[in-house]
Structure 1
Amino acid sequence: MAHATNNASTTPGGQRFDEEYGVGYAVQVMSEASFFVWKIFNQTAPEDRRAAMDDRVKLVVNFINTNILAFERDSESSITLNAGYVNNITGDVRTLVTGLLYHEVTHVWQWGQQDTNQTHSWIYEGVADFVRLRAGYAAPYWLQPGQGDSWDTGYDVTAWFLDYCDQLRPGFVAVLNQRLKDGYSDDDFLQIMGKSVQELWRDYKANCGLPKHGNTKDELEKADKEQMEAAEKEVEAAYTAVTAD
């Protein structure tokens, strides 16, 4: 399911990664993130998912002398985490790196990666940050809901907008991801939501204070627990009926 390697263990950032995060915890997080992405995308069956190389997500910690935080190499289903970024984190390493991994793991599994280097890369980055948001790992440096100049800004701005759309039409992002197999079109919003993306953006800017009621990580886990408890009650009731006869 997941594999992690720290190739920067002799650097300050690599050492901090080992001390405050660790490859074992990274494997756990990426595995949990994969299951969470599949749930968000409504991909319960393996055949519904975009295939990953060797059917697993890989993480490599390297020192990169740039401002890059992390990136996903599509052809290898591999995530590279910059040890330099880890070294410069001023907040909680576990929380920030976990949020970053949820974002990058989404890239491994989301459809439409052939379009990510084109003019529509913003939608894929927005979906990845949407998953990060729903998992409860919105970064403290993100803009707030309703901020931003356009729906196609990408990342946090687009994530909040997608969150709004998914509140209006639960499962919107799952349907959108499925349509992204063939690349992105503004018409996707109209076909799924019944309104153009321009109309939805105007509505969003006017109503960004709406209460949240989307499928957060806790809500999804609660729903799973409730379904399991209901199933157990049905089995118990059936058993009672049989034994009573």
Structure 2
Amino acid sequence: MAAKTHNLSLLIALSLLQFQITLAVRLGATNNASSTPGGQRFDRDIGIPYTIKTMPEIANFIWKLFQQPTEGDRRHYPDDVVNVIIQDLQDGALGETGDNNVYMSAKGIETYPPGDGAKFMFTSILYHEMTHIFQWSGKGTAPGGLTEGMADYTVLKSPFYVEGYSTPGEGERWDEGYGTTSRFLEYCDSLRKGFTPKLNKMMREVYKPEYWKQLLGKDVDQLWKEYKAKSDSAPPTTPPPHRGNQGFDREIGTAYTLETLPGIANFIWKLFQQPSETSLRQFKRRVYTGAE
């Protein structure tokens, strides 16, 4: 089956500091796995139109978060083209980048939560991967854990953060990457407003460990020790009320639960060789009404 492709030239208008800046960015989305289960699920539950609509929203969010109001502040590619490509990734990653391309795993899409949870998970990963497209990495000199942490920092600050993915104080090293480093960057922001955008800007040409001391007065290892000590002494945090219920509704749902229960029950009865009603454990009828 031929790959499904859609390219669109978009004008992304940013209104900043009383004047208008317009940037033309060509955005492309291609499904190279439309014959696979994951590619078919992408077409059914997410789709190229949604991807094209979401990409400029993510780009705007990243530029605003990293305080990059002008074209000169931003990372550019030949012809200013950014592509999202759905295909099978052989390394097990949910997503990855190469130059100006974001590759989203078709096999990963198969595992996304049901219903609207698929779009939520896809968008969350896209925030991470598009950060790699636009962030500075000192032309490859920055630690990989730092660039991955900055990408997760974007997700953490976005509306598409998956609750419980990371917690403040976790990890053994500041450059473990992903959630661990994103939370450490968040802590550094609390020491100096706008720290993470400033660090990203300093890494345009090269990464140097002394950037931490220049911005915060201490080297990164000392900052990490203080962060861990503060986290270890902090009382446990109470999650916001009903946040788990919202996550259940969004990513799992009552309909899916009811659909799954009979299959689990049948599996248990078959496994324990209980073919008849008389061989099954019986319960008194009890219905939860929510009033208890």
Shorter chain as normaliser: what TM range?
Answer: 0.7 to 0.9
Aligned to 1:103: 128
Aligned to 1:225: none
Matched position secondary structure for 1:181:
coil
Matched position secondary structure for 1:151:
coil
- How do residues 88-237 of structure 1 correspond to structure 2 at under 5 angstroms? 88-90=111-113, 92-112=117-137, 114-115=139-140, 120-140=143-163, 142-208=165-231
Task: Give the AA of the match of 2:230.
Answer: N
Task: Give the AA of the match of 2:123.
Answer: T
Q: Following the alignment from structure 1 to structure 2, what is the Cα–Cα distance between the partners of residues 56 and 38? A: 16
Deviation at 1:141, TM superposition (A): 6.5
* Runs of 4+, deviation exceeding 3 Å: none
Aligned to 1:85: 108
Matched position secondary structure for 1:129:
helix
> What is the percentage of aligned positions where both structures have the same residue?
36
Aligned to 1:44: 69
Matched position secondary structure for 1:191:
helix
* CA contact 1:30–1:57 (8 Å) conserved in 2: no
* Structure 1: gaps of 5 or more residues: 211-245
Task: State how many pairs are aligned.
Answer: 208
TM-aligned CA distance change 1:159 to 1:83, over 3 Å: same
Deviation at 1:140, TM superposition (A): 4.9
Task: Give the AA of the match of 2:37.
Answer: P
Q: Following the alignment from structure 1 to structure 2, what is the Cα–Cα distance between the partners of residues 141 and 68? A: 20
* CA contact 2:142–2:203 (8 Å) conserved in 1: no
Indicate yes or no: 2:87 matched with 1:62.
yes
Matched position secondary structure for 1:111:
coil
Structure with more of its chain in strand, by fraction: 2
Aligned to 2:46: 21
Deviation at 1:122, TM superposition (A): 1.1
Shifted more, 80-89 versus 176-185: the winner is: 176-185
Deviation at 1:90, TM superposition (A): 3.6
Structure index of larger Rg: 2
Task: Give the AA of the match of 2:172.
Answer: D
Q: Following the alignment from structure 1 to structure 2, what is the Cα–Cα distance between the partners of residues 192 and 149? A: 23
Deviation at 1:52, TM superposition (A): 2.5
Residue in structure 2 matching 1:31, options 29, 52, 56: 56
Deviation at 1:119, TM superposition (A): 7.1
Structure with more of its chain in helix, by fraction: 1
Question: How high is the TM-score relative to the length of structure 1?
Answer: 0.78
- Relative contact order (alpha carbons < 8 A, sep ≥ 6): 1 or 2 greater? 1
Question: How high is the TM-score relative to the length of structure 2?
Answer: 0.66
Matched position secondary structure for 2:204:
helix
* Structure 2: gaps of 5 or more residues: 1-24, 236-292
TM-aligned CA distance change 1:195 to 1:136, over 3 Å: farther
Q: Following the alignment from structure 1 to structure 2, what is the Cα–Cα distance between the partners of residues 204 and 81? A: 34
* CA contact 1:95–1:137 (8 Å) conserved in 2: yes
Q: Following the alignment from structure 2 to structure 1, what is the Cα–Cα distance between the partners of residues 78 and 165? A: 31
- Show CA shifts across 1:166-216 (max 9, x none): 122111111111111232222111111112212211222233459xxxxxx
